[in-house]
Amino acid sequence: MINNNAMEAIDSLFMDILETRLHPEGYGWLCEQGAALRSTAKPGKLNRIFAQVPRFAIKADPELAAQQLAQGGKQLPVNAMREWLIDTLSRVWLLLQVPDGDQISYVATIDPLFVGAEVNELVALYKSLELLAYPEQWITRCEEGIRSNIGSVLEAIMCNNNYPAVYLKEAAWNQMILKAFFTDKDVRRIRGLEQRMNPRLKAALEDYVQERTAAGRSVNPEIYKLMELQ
């Protein structure tokens, strides 16, 4: 679980990015919703706000946003976040506003979002995993996401996300890595890939290479780099 000081810094970072990328009215709406969640966060309220984000999270004029960043002299340390869709940024920030003092209430508020979420909502939920409180509570949800056939959902879990490397058990981790190769994801963006290489994964990758070679199909060179680690 991320400590309070780190979470304050992360929250500030999100606000810096959102302020420059949202239309002023949209930014004001988002701040109001965040305050409402900090006051009283219930599943129904969070569901409603989550669904409303595309209506209010209106992009700012790109030139104005660039000027604001330059004038503010802001050095944003997480460059990847600047590439997220504005809806994703807004939704992840909203999740960070849910009070986490009580585990049962916290999980009961956020977990229902995974059920019936549309694709963009799922992307935000999976990108938020490493920032959510009580991280062990989201392992099953992460494993469910790995079984998805939706490319953007898989990338949200696999790419530039620390959660899988830290919390997934070996079997689920291996499944994710194999699926990344099966679905031609950029495995270089998977955090902890080399550190979590293991004998079972090596054996599975060797079988995969043999199948691809026998079928006359190309093999991602990153596989050979991984197998050399074992």
Of 159, 158, 11, nearest to 92 by C-alpha is: 11
Q: Which pLDDT score is estimated for 46?
A: 92
pLDDT at 72 over 60: no
Burial class of 6 by CB neighbour count within 10 A (0 to 12, 13 to 18, 19+): exposed
Whether the pLDDT of residue 217 is over 70: the answer is: yes
SS (H, E, C) 185-229: CCHHHCCCCCCCCCHHHHHHHHHHHHHHHHCCCCCCHHHHHHHCC
- The enclosing H or E element of 179 equals helix 170-182
pTM of the model: 0.88
Give the tens place of pLDDT for each residue, 112-138.
999 989 999 999 999 999 999 999 999
* pLDDT greater than 60 at residue 61: no
Q: Please name the amino acid found at residue 117.
A: A
Whether the CB-CB separation of 126 and 158 falls below 8 Å is answered with no
| In the predicted structure, residue 110 carries a pLDDT above the cut 80 | yes
Q: What is the pLDDT of residues 6-17, one digit of tens each?
A: 778 888 888 888
State mean pLDDT over 34-57. Answer: 89
109 half-sphere exposure, CB direction, 13 A CA radius: 25
